[in-house]
Structure 1
Amino acid sequence: MSQLSILIVDDEPDNFDVLETLLSEQDYQLHYAASGQDAIASLDTFNPDLILLDVMMPGIDGIEVCRRIKAMSKWQAVPIIMVTALNSKSDLAHCLSAGADDFISKPVNGIEMRARVHSMLRIKQQYDNIQSLSRIQENTIEFLESNLNELRGNLASSLSHELNTPLNGILGTIGLLGDDLEEMDVTEIREMLGWADQSARRLEKLTKKFLIYLELELSASRPEKIASVRSKFSATTIEAGLKSYAESINRSNDLIFALEEAEIAISERYLSAIIYELVDNALKFSLPETTIKISSQVVGEMLHLSVHDLGRGMTEEQIAKVGAFMQFERKSYEQQGIGMGLKIAKKIVELAGGEFSITSVYQQETTVTLTVPIVRN
C-alpha cells in the first residue's frame, strides 16, 4: 500500500518542523504549504489524504481555506484537522461550520496529535474503500447493460450446451458405474473413469475461462493492476506447453515457432491464457496437417506476437463481432467452446496497454496479431 499523504498548512515553517517530528514514527508522506493560496494550488500535486490546517494565517485564514476546499467536490472527502490557539466555543463553532472534521489546540500534544491523525486517516480509508466498491458495482452494472443484447440467445444456445455436455458425461458415467460396477472388469472401469475425467477437465477449463473473463471486465476501471505485473516471454516454456497440448490432439507436427524472448508487462497467468486461447482457436478451426505459425519479435518498446493458421478464416463482419458467447457458423462446424477466447485475449492486451487485431481471408487463413509493452531492466 502506498504512503498516506498529509498536507500541513502553516505560515510558520518552525511549526511544520514540530509536526514533522511528532509524526516521524509513522510512515506518512508529509508536504508543506506556507499559505492558504499555496495549499489550494497544491492539492492536485500532493493529493492529500489528510490536511492539518492552521487557523491564524495572514491573507486567507484557515477557516476560509477550509471552506473553499470543502466547496470543491474532488476534495470534500479529505478530512481537515484545524490546528488552532483559539479555544472559545464560538471560534471552534466557526471551524466546524466551515467544514472542518476535527480540531486540535496549540500547543500541540504529541499523543493527541497522533491519535487524531490516525483516526481521521482511518475514516478516509474507509471512505475510499466504499467508493472503490461503488465504482466496481457501477462498472458491473454498465458491463451487464452493455452486453445484455449479446448475452441474450447466445448464452442459451452456447453456454448451456457447453455446461451440460461435460456435466452429462460425468453424471452418466457415475450412473453406469453405480448400476453395473460389480459386473465390470478393471479395464472397463478405467475406461469409464477416463470418460469422466475428460468431461471434468472440460468443465474445469470452461469455468476458469469464464472466471478470467469476469475478472477482466471488473478490472477495466483499474488497468494499472494488469500492467504492473511482469513475466518472462520464454520461447522454451511456450514451445513446450503448446507442443504438449498439440500432441494431445495429434497435431504436434503442425506447429512452427519463431520466437524472440522478452520481459513483458503482463502476468504469467494472463500470458498463458492469451497464448493458449489463440493457438487453441487456430487448432480448432484448421485441418490437421496444415501449419500454424507462432512468431514474436521485439520492435522498439513492444513485443509483437502473431498466430497464423490456414483454417476456415473469418469475414470482416465476423471479425467486427468478436465477443464473448459468440461462436460463428456453429451449425456448420460443431466445436467445443463459447467464443470467449479471442475476447479474453483482446481484453488482456488492451488493459496492458497493447493492441490487438485480426486479419483474415475467408475459408483460407487467419492471422491474429497483438502487441504488449516490454519491461526494460
Structure 2
Amino acid sequence: MSQFSLLIVDDEPDNFDVLETLLSEQEYELYYAANGQEAIASLDLFNPDIILLDVMMPGIDGLEVCRQIKAMSKWKAVPIIMVTALSSKSDLAQCLTAGADDFISKPLNGIELRARVHSMLRIKQQYDSIQNLYHIQENTVNVLESTLNELRGNLASSLSHELNTPLNGILGTIGLLKDDLEDMDIAEIREMLGWADESARRLEKLTKKFLIYLELELSASRHHKIESARTQFSASAIEAALKSQAQSFKRHNDLVLALEEAEIALSDRYLSTIVYQLVDNALKFSSPGTTIKVSSQVVGKMLNLSVHDSGRGMTEEQIAKIGAFMQFERKTYEQQGIGIGLKIVKKIVELAGGEFSITSIYQKETTVNITLPIVGN
C-alpha cells in the first residue's frame, strides 16, 4: 500500500495523540500543526494528501484556514475533513460553504474516521490520476501526431462528452447538497451520494482506460514489447469476473463459456483488460436475451480466445476504422464510451506477440478473435 501524508491541524496536542492512535494501523505519515498559520506555512514542507482540520481554534479558526487553503491553486484539490464538536445543520453547512470536502464530529469514532479518510484519499487519487493523464498527454505529443486529426475531431468531441457527463453529475450533486443539506433527510442524502458515487466510478473507468491506451502507444512508438509476465488463464476466475460484469447489464444468463486453461505470457492487468473490453462491447452492442459466447482453446504455442455476439455487427468499413476513436452509429444507439476499447485490445495483443482479427455480418453478428503466446514449459 502506498504511504499517504496526513496533516492534522489542532491547537490541542492531546488530540493529535488521539488521531495518531485511531490511525495507527494505517500506513499514513502523520504531520502536526498547532494552529492555522502554521498549517498554511507548512503545506509545501509536508505536501499533505489530506488535511484533518479542527474548526475551533484561537486566532484563525478552521473555517478561515479552509477558505484560504482552497483559494490556493496548488492545494485546492487536497481534501479537507473538518473535525468539529458542532452538530447543528447550520454549523455543518458552514463547513461545506468554506470549501470542506467532509466533516466528522467529536468525540471521534475510529471506524468512521478511517472510512472518511479512505474515501477522501480515493478522491485525491482520482484527481492525481487525471493530472498524470494531463502530463502524459503533454509528454507524448509526438506519439499522438499520427492520430492528430482523430484527436481533434472524434476523440476531442467524444472524450469531452464522456468526461463532462460524470463530472457534471458529481458537481451537480455536490451543489444540491451544499444548497439544501439542512432540509434533507438521511435517505435523500444517501440517494444523492449514490448518484455522485456512480458518476465518480464512471469517470475513474474512463481515466484508467485512457491511461492504458497512452501507455501502450508509448511502448509501440519506442518499439518495445510488453514486459514479460506469467498469468494463469483461469476458467473459474474468468467465469466469476464475466458473470459479475454481465450482471451489471442484467444479462448473466446470456453468457455461454467454453474455456480451456493455459499460462500465458501477459500480465494479469492486461489480460483482465482484454477480456473486460471484449465482453463489454458484446454486452453493449447486442440485445438482452441473445447469446454471448466466450471460448478459448490451446493451439500449439498459442491460446486462441474468441468472443461472439449476435448483435449489431459491423461493416467492413467500420472494421477498417477501429482505432479511429469513434463509436459507429452513436446518434442512433446513444451508448456510452469513446470508441477506444477495441483499439486497446488490439494494441495489447500485438505488443504481446499475438494476433487480432474481427469477422462480422452487419446487423447480425460479430466475432473477435485473438491469440496470445503461452509461457513455455
Same fold, judged at TM 0.5 (above): yes
Contact 1:224–1:352 (8 Å) recurs in 2: no
CA change 1:344–1:259 in 2 (3 A) is: same
The 5-angstrom pairing of residues 36-75 of structure 1 reads: none
Matched to 1:191, the amino acid is E
Deviation at 1:242, TM superposition (A): 1.0
The equivalent residue for 1:197 is 197
Please list every run of 5 or more consecutive structure 2 residues that lacks an aligned counterpart in the other structure. 1-135
User: Conserved in 1, the CA contact under 8 Å of 2:249 and 2:283?
Assistant: no
CA distance in 2, matches of 1:179, 1:190: 16
Report the alpha carbon displacement of residue 326 of structure 1 after superposing the two structures with TM.
Answer: 1.2
Rounded to whole Å, the distance in 2 between the matches of 1:335 and 1:347 is 23
Residue 352 (structure 2) pairs with residue 370 (structure 1):
no
Partner of 1:235: 235
- Deviation for aligned residue 1:221: 4.8
Residue pair 2:143, 2:221 contacting (<8 A) in 1 also: no
Show the counterpart of 1:155. 155
State the shift of 1:156 in Å: 2.9
Would the alpha carbon gap of residues 259 and 227 (structure 1) be closer, same or farther in structure 2, given more than 3 Å must change? farther
Q: Give the match for residue 247 of structure 2.
A: 247
Q: Quote the residue 1:69 is aligned against.
A: none
1:282-330 per-residue CA deviation (whole Å, 9 max, x = no partner) reads 0001111111000000000000000000110100000000015211111
**Contact kept? 1:311, 1:365, Cα under 8 Å:** yes
**175-184 or 298-307, which deviates more:** 175-184
Partner of 1:53: none
In the TM superposition, residue 142 of structure 1 has moved relative to its aligned partner by: 4.4
Q: d(CA) in 2 for partners of 1:316 and 1:208?
A: 29
Give distance in 2, aligned partners of 1:169 and 1:153. Answer: 25
In structure 2, the residue matched to 1:332 is 332
Partner of 2:210: 210
TM-score, normalised to structure 2, is 0.62
- C-alpha deviation, 1:376, in angstroms: 2.3
Matching residue's letter, 1:171: L
**Which residue in the other structure is 1:44 paired with?**
none
The question of 1:309 aligning with 2:271 is answered no
> How far 1:260 sits from its partner (Å)?
0.3
- For residues 240-270 of structure 1, the C-alpha deviation after alignment (integer angstroms, 9 at most, x for no partner) is 0110111122111111100000000110000
Structure 2 match to 1:295: 295
Measure the CA separation in 2 of the matches of 1:343 and 1:179. Answer: 43
Q: Structure 1 residue runs of 4+, over 3 Å off?
A: 139-142, 221-225
Tell me the alpha carbon deviations over residues 142-200 of structure 1, each in whole angstroms, 9 at most, x when there is no partner. 42221112212112320000000000000001111111112111111111111000000
CA contact (8 A) 1:262 1:303 kept: yes
Give the whole-Å Cα distance in 2 for the aligned partners of 1:156 and 1:340: 12
Q: Structure 2 matches for 1:1-377, cutoff 5 A? A: 140-221=140-221, 225-377=225-377
Q: Find the aligned partners of 1:303 and 1:209 in 2 and give their Cα distance.
A: 24
Match of 1:257, SS?
A: strand
Aligned equivalents of 1:141, 1:174: Cα separation in 2 = 35
Q: 1 CA distance for matches of 2:184 and 2:233? A: 48
CA 1:222–1:268 in 2, change beyond 3 Å: closer, same or farther?
farther
CA pair 196-141 structure 1, distance change in 2 beyond 3 A: closer
**SS of match in other structure, 1:287:** coil
**Distance between the aligned counterparts of 1:187 and 1:249, measured in 2?**
26
Structure 2 distance, partners of 1:157, 1:364, is 29
Distance 2:142 2:175 in 1: 43
